[in-house]
């Protein structure tokens, strides 16, 4: 996070005082590096330091900060558009404000207990855990962290590619892929151009973009309130259905009213498209927007966390780039069919979320492995028939549960929407032969 803040500061300064195109490009590269470091570190930090019952709420604060930043940037663009000739310098230069907050804040906040234990700072880790939990009664949680870290020391950095982590690897790839293929960045990147084409004019287009941004912020706030009450899958389902309907409507209105001679859409139709794009943004902002970062960060134990989150960030930005580059070409050739294309992917990702993701609400990170072993599909992928039979009988060694994995004493509650019943855990002292 410190590196991310530093790159943001350097990038903002270079962009604001750019004397030529090369200097501007270097500044943008630095800003991109800052985004990469921050997106890798912040969700992991929040997942490790948050208590299980509030992990979703605290992690979505990351997405909330992102949406507020986007919204503020949209208003800055709106306010500086007529400040000639240096309005654009002020617009990009103000990025130094959040950059300094990130940099200085990262110097103040403590490392996570997991990170401190991994570096051998046991006493400091214990004190940090007591501080962030607000109580000295952290024996059980601290023991879980220490044992999980100890188990990971001998782990292969490529452990995520082992059979037992196939559902984790799949989620680390598919969730960010699906998040980008919702089509949200066609709105975030090109809303101004789209509203201009719809006939609103440049000033109104910037204002409409800011309205969409306000919807994004408000809906993300709603996600913070609901994620640890309703759970992840409810939000995935509702958001997916809402986004699917909205893009189908947008495709229908655009296909039925676009005038190929003038290149514009009637005002009434443009207002309808704006309304449904706002509804689409709302559906994204309380589902795949924040959950696209939260859920992958919850999957990983300490053995796969660094590699898994790196994969998630890389996939996310790779397809963000792909969609950003391809969208205008798609819109020119497919026209309204572009939104049918994204609606299809929204349907696919909703099926994946409902059928292939377990509910992670309230489940400690160290106990995530039990969810995959109880899952109707993934249990068949990560366990042999003999291991599944052993697991059903409570034979953890025979089920391939490895050292450092923690299984609730009442493990049958997990995976049935009763994760809050998970109490004491039993560590599994098995030999190296048990690794799968």
Calculate ∠ Cα 269-270-275, nearest 5°.
95
Query: In the predicted model, is pLDDT for residue 49 greater than 80?
Result: yes
- Looking at residue 193, its pLDDT comes to 66
Is the whole model's pTM more than 0.85, yes or no?
no
Query: In the predicted model, is pLDDT for residue 198 greater than 70?
Result: no
DSSP code for 155: S
How large is the average pLDDT for residues 274-296?
Answer: 90
- Looking at residue 348, its pLDDT comes to 97
pLDDT digits 0-9 by tens, 67-78? 888 888 878 887
Query: In the predicted model, is pLDDT for residue 364 greater than 50?
Result: yes
Most confident of 130-134, 175-179, 294-298: 175-179
CA torsion, ordered 125, 129, 134, 135, to nearest 10 deg: -90
User: pLDDT: is 61 or 189 the higher one?
Assistant: 61
How large is the average pLDDT for residues 383-399?
Answer: 82
pLDDT digits 0-9 by tens, 215-249? 888 999 999 899 989 999 999 999 999 999 999 99
- Looking at residue 141, its pLDDT comes to 85
pLDDT averaged over every residue in the chain: 82
pLDDT band at 316 (very low <50, low <70, confident <90, very high): very high
DSSP code for 17: T
Q: Are 287 and 349 in contact (CB under 8 A)?
A: no
How large is the average pLDDT for residues 260-264?
Answer: 67
In 286-384, alpha helices (H): 288-299, 305-334, 337-356, 368-374, 378-382
335 vs 258: CA distance, rounded Å: 9
pLDDT band at 48 (very low <50, low <70, confident <90, very high): confident
pLDDT band at 395 (very low <50, low <70, confident <90, very high): confident
User: pLDDT: is 248 or 43 the higher one?
Assistant: 248
Which whole-number Å values give the CA distances from 136 to 127, 129, 132, 142, 418, in the listed order?
Answer: 8, 8, 10, 11, 27
User: pLDDT: is 120 or 202 the higher one?
Assistant: 120
Which of 9-18, 106-115, 171-180, 423-432 is the least confident region? Answer: 423-432
pLDDT band at 429 (very low <50, low <70, confident <90, very high): very low
DSSP code for 138: -
Which of 8-12, 331-335, 404-408, 409-413 is the least confident region? Answer: 409-413
How large is the average pLDDT for residues 336-351?
Answer: 95
How large is the average pLDDT for residues 264-276?
Answer: 80
- Looking at residue 245, its pLDDT comes to 96
How large is the average pLDDT for residues 111-128?
Answer: 89
Query: In the predicted model, is pLDDT for residue 419 greater than 70?
Result: no
Query: In the predicted model, is pLDDT for residue 415 greater than 50?
Result: no
282 vs 214: CA distance, rounded Å: 10
375 vs 356: CA distance, rounded Å: 8
pLDDT band at 312 (very low <50, low <70, confident <90, very high): very high
């Amino acid at each position: 996070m410190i590196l991310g803040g530093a790159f943001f500061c350097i990038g903002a300064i270079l962009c604001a005082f750019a004397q030529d195109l090369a200097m501007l490009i270097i500044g943008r590269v630095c800003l991109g590096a800052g985004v990469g470091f921050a997106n890798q570190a912040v969700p992991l930090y929040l997942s490790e330091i948050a208590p299980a019952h509030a992990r979703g709420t605290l992690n979505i604060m990351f997405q909330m900060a992102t949406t507020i930043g986007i919204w503020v940037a949209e208003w800055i663009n709106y306010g500086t558009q007529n400040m000639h000739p240096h309005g654009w310098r002020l617009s990009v230069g103000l990025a130094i404000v959040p950059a300094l907050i990130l940099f200085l804040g990262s110097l103040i906040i403590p490392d996570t207990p997991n990170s401190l234990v991994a570096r051998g700072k046991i006493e400091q880790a214990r004190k940090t855990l007591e501080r962030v939990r607000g109580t000295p009664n952290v024996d059980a949680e601290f023991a879980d962290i220490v044992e999980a870290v100890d188990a990971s020391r001998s782990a292969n950095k490529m452990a995520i590619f082992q059979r037992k982590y196939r559902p984790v690897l799949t989620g680390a790839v598919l969730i960010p892929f699906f998040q980008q293929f919702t089509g949200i960045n066609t709105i975030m990147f090109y809303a101004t151009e789209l509203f201009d084409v719809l006939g609103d004019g440049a000033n109104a287009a910037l204002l409409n973009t800011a309205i969409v941004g306000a919807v994004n912020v408000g809906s993300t706030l709603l996600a913070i309130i609901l994620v640890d009450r309703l759970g992840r899958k409810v939000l995935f389902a509702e958001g997916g259905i809402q986004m699917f309907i909205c893009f189908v409507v947008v495709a229908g209105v655009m296909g039925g009213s676009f005038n190929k001679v003038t290149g514009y859409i009637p005002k009434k139709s443009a207002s309808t498209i704006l309304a449904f794009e706002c509804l689409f943004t709302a559906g994204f902002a309380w589902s795949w927007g924040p959950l696209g970062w939260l859920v992958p960060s919850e999957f990983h134990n300490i053995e796969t966390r660094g590699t898994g989150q790196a994969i998630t960030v890389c996939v996310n930005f790779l397809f963000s780039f792909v969609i950003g580059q391809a969208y205008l070409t798609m819109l020119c050739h497919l026209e309204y069919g572009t939104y049918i294309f994204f609606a299809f992917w929204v349907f696919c990702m909703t099926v994946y979320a409902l059928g292939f993701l377990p509910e992670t609400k309230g489940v400690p990170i160290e106990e995530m492995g039990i969810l995959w072993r109880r899952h109707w599909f993934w249990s068949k992928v990560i366990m042999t028939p003999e291991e599944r039979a052993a697991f059903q009988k409570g034979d953890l060694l025979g089920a391939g549960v490895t050292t450092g994995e923690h299984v609730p004493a009442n493990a049958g509650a997990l995976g049935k929407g009763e994760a809050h019943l998970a109490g004491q855990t039993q560590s599994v002292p098995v030999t190296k032969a048990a690794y799968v």
